Structure 1
Amino acid sequence: MTGQTEPVLYRIDGRKIKSAKDFYREIGRAVNGRGGYFGRNLDALADCLRGGFGTPEDRPYMFEWQHSAVSRRRLADGPDASLIDDVLDVFSDAGVVLRLR
């Protein structure tokens, strides 16, 4: 029965993220499969984290941003340099765990 209470884990592949557009594509894929939607900006991401966009309604869920250091390096000098910190804030405000790996 413990399997029912274990959080669903969604993995974001940071090796595929070089821009905010890449991030939203990758998080959409992680939750809803290839071409899936899970926001296209921070406000939409916050809405998606509230539920009803592919995450389970009957059990907890969390995210793991794998290779986040690769993403951070690639984003560092561009217009999306603050993306990781901004996304962390949105997850924190929504009460959803996002682990950077």
Structure 2
Amino acid sequence: MYNRLLTLDMIEPTDSNMAKGFGELSNVRGIIKYSISPFEQRAFAGAISKGLPNLFRRFRSKFFIVAPPFMIAYYIYDQTEKAHARMMRKNPADFANDV
């Protein structure tokens, strides 16, 4: 028995193994696909009656978890920027005795 791996140069390009053009794809059998028509769907069903209260509930539940680290980080950033601006100025007391 002689086994040999098929490589791309050994396969002869024929119509049966070449891809077809756009819109002429092969038929797929054995797969059932169910869907609803886009005209029968309600895209925003319950968006206002259920969505907005849920949004506010989630915001309230996570605010005190997320906000304090951001407030601390902003405070550190603000104080660092103020200290940097203060250190970059010349101190007039250092030059009081200059003529």
Give the shorter-chain TM-score range: under 0.3
Give me the TM-score of the superposition, normalised by structure 1: 0.17
Q: When you count strand as a share of all residues, which structure comes out higher? A: 1
Q: With CA pairs under 8 Å and 6+ residues apart, which has the higher RCO, 1 or 2?
A: 1
Give me the TM-score of the superposition, normalised by structure 2: 0.17
